[in-house]
Amino acid sequence: MPTYEDILAIVTELIKPLAAAGRSIREDTDLVSDLEFDSLKVMNLIEQVEDRFDVSVPLNILPDIRTVRDFTVQLQAILGDN
């Protein structure tokens, strides 16, 4: 069972190539307003997360995710349920 820090590191690594160039990625970075994620990038990120962690990410968590931290917390909960 990966720790929060493990997941955060992988999430950050997956986000980096999708984010606008030169943006720094921290826990409180807002995916939408800071990194300019549109719906296609979100789908792309989730695909990679699903493949990497071998889980299915339910769509209904998206509306309440704003930051990298939110995403990591939700992902940790999903991994814990499996």
Partner 1 sequence: MEATPTENKLPLRYGDFSTLAEALDYAAQGETGANFYNGKGQLEAVLPYAVLRDEAVDIARQLMGLDLERGSRVALVAETYPDFLRFFYACQYAGMVPVPLPASIHLGGHKAYVAQLRRLLLNCRAQVAVAPGMFMSFLREAAEGLGLVFVGTPEQFSEFPRQEGPLRPSGPDELAYLQYTSGSTRFPRGVMIPQKTVMSNLASIIRHGVRVRSGDRSMSWLPFYHDMGLVGLVLSPMASQVSVDYLKTRDFGMRPRLWLTLISQNHATVSFGPPFGYELCVQRLREDTAGQFDLRSWRLAGVGAETIRPEPLSRFADMLAPSGFNPNAFTACYGMAECSLAVSFSPLDLGIQLDVVDPELLAEEQKAAPLASDFRIRTTKGKSFVKCGFPLPGFEVEVRNTEGQPMPERHVGTLYVRGPSIMSGYFGEEALTAEVLSRDGWLNTGDLAYVADGSVVITGRQKDLIIINGRNIWPQDLEYIAESQPEVRTGDASAFSVTAADGDDKAVLVIECRESRHAQRMELATRIQALIRQDLGIDCFIELVSRNTLPRTTSGKLSRSGAKKDFLQRVEDGKTEQPGAAEDFYLLRRKTG
Question: Which residues lie across from 46 on neighbouring strands?
Answer: none
Stretch that binds partner 1, among 8-16, 28-36, 74-82 (CB under 8 A): 28-36
Our finding on whether 75 is near partner 1 (CB under 8 A) is no
Number of Cβ within a 10 Å radius of residue 71? 26
Number of other residues whose CB lies within 10 A of the CB of residue 61: 16
Nearer to partner 1, 3 or 24 (CB): 24
Size of site (CB under 8 A) for partner 1:
24
| Interacting residue with partner 1 among 7, 11, 37, 76 (CB under 8 A) | 37
